[in-house]
Homo-oligomer: A and B are copies of this chain.
Amino acid sequence: MKMMQLYAALKSDLQAIEDEMARSVMSEMPLLSETSLHLLKAGGKRIRPVFVLLSGKFGEYSLETLKKVAVPLELIHMASLVHDDVIDDAETRRGQLTVKSKWDNRIAMYTGDYIHAKALTVITQLNNPRIHRILSSAIVQMCIGEMEQIRDFFNVDQNIRTYMRRIRRKTAMLIAISCQLGALATNAPAKISDALYRFGYNVGMAFQITDDLLDICGTEKAIGKPPGSDLRQGNITLPVLFALQDESIRGALLDEIAAIRASEGPVDSSPAVRLVRSSRGVQASEELADRYIVKALKALEALPDLPAKRNLAEIARFVAHRSY
């Protein structure tokens, strides 16, 4: 089954989640509804809701219950994007103006806070404090990951392990718990929710590595923002770190990164991007992403042989080879 067919098979449940997201961010205050809906309309892959739904197939599947997991997870992800855009001074995301650029930084900050708070009102409808605990711990990790990213801006001496720890916190944890909570909310056994957590964690790592690769190798049309955005803001990602290990490129790349850092106003990261593309960094990153996918597929072995198991495997393979 291809990805489009998988989304088609989940379509009505995903649409229910989409509707619930829109409903849940409505407020008595028109401006907050407007900024939130602007974000929702920009869309996204909705990978967290997809994982919640598929993981729920291993328990007592209930859309009503799974909505209360999927909606908050996706909203928390979106809230973090709004705050990211303030930090990154990003003008567009997914080809749409960001909240901070359509409105302003203050409005973006409180829109993020608000969407985050609304997510909590949804998840707390579940009478399962353990789920609340798992979610709140993951949010803490995300915040630490975001702060580590700021701390490590333009740090060309960071090692691969620093990068891995950061993306684990920033991205992989929330995807891991999307799978885990889909299982827990539907009363699947611990063995299953544990396996799904490991699956989600490894897919999440591959997902972020691929995201970082796309920022180097993708086209503006495909990724919805100009390539090289990470480098422009000082975010040193895996392909760049691998490229810096390539002695024939290191010197020139360090000069380009230093020039980006020193520049004020609009800055062109395309020479740096070209250097990274020409290095072994791209292939090395792809290989590492693939290794995470292998681990993710391995985690699936513990699961019973349901169609959802094959779907998860298909998504895992897709994640590492997507072009958007």
Contact = CB atoms under 8 A, between A and B. Distances in A.
Interface of A: 27-29, 31-32, 83, 86-87, 105-107, 109-114, 116-118, 120-121, 124-129, 132-133, 135-137, 139-140, 142-144, 146-148, 150-151
A133 B121 contact: yes
Nearest to A146: B110
A28 B112 CA distance: 24
Across the A-B interface, give the 8 residue pairs with the lowest CB-CB distance, nearest first. A120-B136, A114-B143, A117-B139, A124-B132, A117-B140, A124-B133, A121-B136, A110-B147
Contacts of A107: 147, 150
**Chain A interface, >50% SS class:** helix
Contacts of A113: 83, 112, 116, 143, 146
A303 to B, nearest CB: 28
Q: State the number of copies, please.
A: 2
B83 A109 contact: yes
26 contacts: A27-B144, A29-B148, A32-B143, A87-B106, A87-B109, A87-B110, A105-B105, A107-B150, A110-B143, A110-B147, A113-B116, A114-B140, A114-B143, A114-B147, A116-B116, A117-B142, A118-B140, A120-B120, A120-B132, A121-B133, A124-B129, A124-B132, A124-B133, A125-B133, A126-B129, A129-B129
Contacts of A132: 120, 124, 129, 132
